[in-house]
Amino acid sequence: MNSSNHDSKHLELKQIIMSILGNAPMGVITTNFHGSILLINETAAEILKKNTNLASFIDKNILTFFSKKSLSYQYLKGSFSKAKKEFDLDEEPFGQKFVKLNVRVIINGLLITIEDVTEQVRTKNEIKRYTKKLERQNAELEEFAYITSHDLQEPLNNIISFSNLLLKNTSNEVPPKIKEFLKIIKDSSKRMSDLIHGLLELSRIGQTQEKQTSDSNKVVESVLDSLNHQIQESKATIEYKNLPQVKIFPLEFNSLLQNLISNALKYRRAGVPPVITIDAENREKDWLFSITDNGIGIPVDQYERIFIIFQRLFAHKEIAGTGIGLAHCKKIVDLHGGEIWVNSKPNQGSTFYFNIPK
């Protein structure tokens, strides 16, 4: 091949490379080891200076586009020195923008790729700000719930104990109506106290300790122990075997199972002894727990509502409860990074599912 032939091949190759680079979404620049620009595509030119006249960049020193104080400038200088350092900078301020800069050593100089990541950085910062704000508001709400419920408890205790005293000390001459009213005051105060207690508990979730690996069979055992009275009374059968080791907040996880199992006992069908199965399916990233009962069931249109605090099903009003249990469960499962939901058939039974990440 003679030399003019060689030159034209070289030119052709350069044109092909330039047309590929010209359409690349990433800025590409090559320089010699002194920083003089040998080749630049439109995207890079656009980022460095709103000037698409590519020729005007050739032979200019790349350093002149960067502020001397910037990290990019310092690093680039390092790359031109004898050390010929390669580097990656992810979110470097560049005028009003942010750029991502990668520098690699090639045969006769440097290959620099430059990307405008301003939008990504702005979005990321916005998400960060938003998350911080949400976290702060959440913490404030929890503190508010804690303080109000804590402070409400005291006057309420007074109402309960004084209505008790009054009931005890009222003689038989007192009209039965008055006695009945006193009893209503006492019962309502007790119910309010239960609700406040539930709120307090709810605001305490997740403040206790670290996650630890525990045997969920043991947790179920201890829950069943504490529910022994209800189990005997309702003649319930409870089945579970080979439940896994899980990474959990022990107190909260215990309370989760306690709520679900006690609901499965509580919402039983009249005359039908509860049969409750506790199971856990080994999935790729988590354990899917299920608690199945043969109780009164829940209509489909109520599947979501029951997880909201203080929401109870109208049909179940005669069964004692505060409507806090499942809100509690949801918060606990959230804390573990999982989800909770229900599947049910009225008059046949319900299955509550929740997953615990591995």
**103 or 256, CB closer to ligand ADP?**
256
- Within 304-323, the residues that bind ligand ADP by CB under 6 A are 306, 312-313, 316, 321-323
The pair of structure tokens assigned to 288 is 């899917």
Residue type at 167? L
Minimum CB distance to ligand ADP smaller for 30 or for 263: 263
In the set 238, 243, 257, 298, which binds ligand ADP (CB under 6 A)?
298
Q: Determine the Cα–Cα distance for residues 76 and 102; give it in Å rounded to an integer.
A: 10
> Quick one: which of 149, 263, 294, 355 contacts ligand ADP (CB under 6 A)?
263
The answer to whether 274 contacts ligand ADP (rule: CB under 6 A) is: no
Q: For the residues of 151-196, what is the DSSP string, one character each?
A: HHHHHHHHHHHHHHHHHHH--TTS-HHHHHHHHHHHHHHHHHHHHH
> Under the criterion CB under 6 A, does residue 29 sit at the interface with ligand ADP?
no
- Is the CB of residue 296 less than 8 Å from the CB of residue 307? no
Task: Give which of 92, 114, 95 is closest to 103, Cα–Cα.
Answer: 114
Asked if residue 292 binds ligand ADP (CB under 6 A), the reply is: no
Nearer to ligand ADP, 109 or 297 (CB): 297
Name which position in 27, 109, 274, 325 contacts ligand ADP (CB under 6 A): 325
CB-nearer residue toward ligand ADP: 264 or 332:
264
Do 100 and 90 form a contact (C-beta atoms < 8 A)?
yes
Q: Which two tokens stand for residue 244?
A: 């896994």
Compute the distance between CA of residue 119 and CA of residue 125 in angstroms, rounded to an integer: 10
Question: Which CB atom, from 197 or from 312, has the smaller least distance to ligand ADP?
Answer: 312
Residue 350 as a binder of ligand ADP (CB under 6 A): the answer is yes
Instruction: Give CA–CA dist 50/43, Å, rounded.
Output: 10
> Does 295 help bind ligand ADP (rule: CB under 6 A)?
yes
Nearer to ligand ADP, 323 or 338 (CB): 323
Considering the complex, what minimum distance in angstroms separates the CB of residue 247 from ligand ADP?
A: 25
Beta bridge partners of 237: 275
Q: 3-state SS of the chain: helix, strand, coil percent to 5?
A: 50, 20, 25
When the beta carbons of 178 and 319 are compared against ligand ADP, the nearer one is 319
Tally of CB atoms within 10 A around 26: 15
- Give the x/- contact pattern for ligand ADP in 222-261, rule: CB under 6 A: -------------------------------------x--
Instruction: Give least dist CB 257 to ligand ADP, A.
Output: 13
Residue ranges in contact with ligand ADP by CB under 6 A: 259, 263-264, 267, 293, 295-298, 306, 312-313, 316, 321-327, 350
